[in-house]
Structure 1
């Protein structure tokens, strides 16, 4: 799989796959839930019926609605399976703004709760849908890792090599599994980034290692910005159900939901200029200093917008900068122009990656409104060697395809782009995203035919498909 495909997948971690048949029903209340009146639904009820019941029940509570919604959805897993439970969550998201805001975290918690045994890991993982930024997938992987931790087992090469192997035939599922490994390792290592990255390095497969790095850096931001979205938080909500434990999930986007601090870490606002016992960090070295690898870890630093990307070894930096704008926006209150200026100060090879990250976050800041996204990206004009606004825009389109698991959404955005040169780049990136969604060249080629007249070749080139006639006729 090409590096560009990995970068596209990391933009949002929500690609295309069909939900599998859920596991069979079981009887009795879900563990950790107090007995009470039987719900007014059965496993055969429609997702709409169950979602209406959940809204009625959780409308009566006087505390946060999210724990109530999560408890009720967790109770459904044993009766209807994770696939059906996620269908109910998706239905709630469509009609309830509170649930919509927390949807990714809820999906993550449901994945954690759905994990049961190593023997059922692959089937449970495959039963998750790609909705809600693929949170279900990553939660299932975390559930597995947390179960190992409770047995005193630290995941090693054999675990990392074997767990994603059942999904290798699907580029999408294989990536989601490998990316989830990073989240799982953060749970096992108490959100200590250097130790978790070293855990990623134990994988024999290079793609698993690279994907794992992205999961680690996502989790590092999550556990600072939204601590209630960690696996620890889900465990409290679920009353000990399933594979509850310690960790959380990714930065959805700056003001919307990047995510935060875990017990044992230093404050996120610590001075990253001297992050570890006064030892200066040198990103130019291929190996972090021992104190950095195994000492206390400072997650983020409001006074250093490029931290921790500027203190990790060079081989980890691209994965770090792919998420870094979420951390910057968290501390500056969603200031896109200030974030663009910070990206402009990144090492030369990472500037583009940082602007692409900003585009992902702009998607959320603009509530996926295409005109607003273009307006926000325009605030990066003149930066990044004059390409900051373009790179931001490409981050937007990349994320739109991934969020909706729909190349058409990216193409609709490209139609709103006025510059002909930028429009060609826009369709090329749609093609790159298509390549992460579809393994078959024929399907990728068909998808690109929906581009505006003259721009299908750009899409095909991005998708790795030879244009008809072998020439680019843009």
Structure 2
């Protein structure tokens, strides 16, 4: 089945706002400061905002060549370029240029903007130039921080399916296996790659407005497909995206999506599905944590607290550290342990300096502040 352009646009916007997924998400990186108004004076901007795709892509490439990878990413992030398929594909051009300029180190110059489009472009260019093995070499460069590495691998999953083509999902999944199944430092990497491939299958970003609709063999009216059509080892990556598909099919009905997730028949699959639904809810809150509580109330009493905790983690993942802590402060006493453990892990794996991590630890409630400081100290000694 092929989705309508309007529905795909809405769903892509939700996805881009959430920057969700894969179990571990990229946290904010230090970047050059660009004022929101600065983009208006950029000579390429008129063409970058053009309705013509070819004009848009050429202008984005020209910008990257003129000011470099990092600055061009900051300019576009602070511009009015939409965080939809059009923006994503434009930012691919920066990824292409990054690879041609920096080779396999290009991924270290990218940022998470526009749904990791720079990463996708760099990975696609590397795979085209040197084959899929270059993808593994490239993502290895992200291993300084676990959060960054998992999202680099997740981006690789997107790019791998885009290279294979949407009708070849199983080939893309097998390529993920070939590249990451033997990873020992981060054994969940292969699942993160699967996750990226399944997300790419759902949202079809890389055929966006190309003048054709790709053959979407791996989508159907069955709310549990393709999860019920792939091997067991791919179930996690699939179900961690499937609620987005069910939500899409039910026109944004949270309660109906929750009901279908809970009728899957396998407790673990239900948990993954409900986790993904919570991540669909996060961008709907639009920065208002009170909406996390009200919207999570629509998933049913049995899953409400789980949904709220996932929202806390999702807030932290996209830079909303204060909001994440505020959610944990507001949850019922029975949920505080789970909530604080979630964001404590994110604080420890954050890319910010240890001093800032300490400041964040101090904002937690007792006794979690002590646990956070103790683990932070222990990590610093290793």
TM-score between the two structures when normalised by the length of structure 1: 0.64
2: CA distance between counterparts of 1:91 and 1:113?
21
User: Does residue 114 of structure 1 match 2:126?
Assistant: no
Query: Between Structure 1 and Structure 2, whose CA radius of gyration is higher?
Result: 1
- The range that moved more, 427-436 or 372-381, is 427-436
User: Does residue 51 of structure 1 match 2:26?
Assistant: no
Secondary structure of the corresponding residue to residue 89 of structure 1: helix
User: Alpha carbon RMSD of aligned pairs, Å?
Assistant: 3.6
1: CA distance between counterparts of 2:225 and 2:233?
15
Secondary structure of the corresponding residue to residue 263 of structure 2: coil
Residues 286-319 of structure 1, C-alpha deviations (whole Å, 9 max, x = no match): xxxxxxxxxxxx32222x2121112221111111
Counterpart in the other structure of 1:254: none
Counterpart in the other structure of 1:423: 336
Counterpart in the other structure of 1:333: 251
Counterpart in the other structure of 1:393: 308
- The range that moved more, 197-206 or 419-428, is 419-428
Structure number with higher helix proportion: 2
Aligned residues: 353
2: CA distance between counterparts of 1:145 and 1:67?
23
User: Does residue 163 of structure 1 match 2:138?
Assistant: yes
Q: Is the CA contact (8 Å cut-off) linking 2:202 and 2:219 kept in structure 1?
A: yes
Residues 139-187 of structure 1, C-alpha deviations (whole Å, 9 max, x = no match): 3212322445xxxx5x2xx435423233322323322322222122202
Name stretches of at least 5 consecutive residues in structure 1 with no aligned partner: 1-7, 22-44, 224-228, 238-260, 267-297, 468-474
2: CA distance between counterparts of 1:365 and 1:47?
23
User: Does residue 411 of structure 1 match 2:337?
Assistant: no
Residues 31-89 of structure 1, C-alpha deviations (whole Å, 9 max, x = no match): xxxxxxxxxxxxxx97743334479736996x47x776554333210011121011111
Secondary structure of the corresponding residue to residue 228 of structure 2: coil
**Offset of 1:199 from its aligned partner?**
0.6
Counterpart in the other structure of 2:6: none
TM-score between the two structures when normalised by the length of structure 2: 0.78
Name stretches of at least 5 consecutive residues in structure 2 with no aligned partner: 1-19
Counterpart in the other structure of 1:354: 273
1: CA distance between counterparts of 2:42 and 2:121?
25
User: Does residue 145 of structure 1 match 2:127?
Assistant: yes
2:292 to 373, 392, 401: 373
1:12-31 correspondence to structure 2 within 5 Å: 13-19=25-31
1: CA distance between counterparts of 2:300 and 2:49?
49
- The range that moved more, 188-197 or 105-114, is 105-114
User: Does residue 308 of structure 1 match 2:222?
Assistant: no
**Offset of 1:116 from its aligned partner?**
3.8
Secondary structure of the corresponding residue to residue 421 of structure 1: helix
User: Does residue 197 of structure 1 match 2:111?
Assistant: no
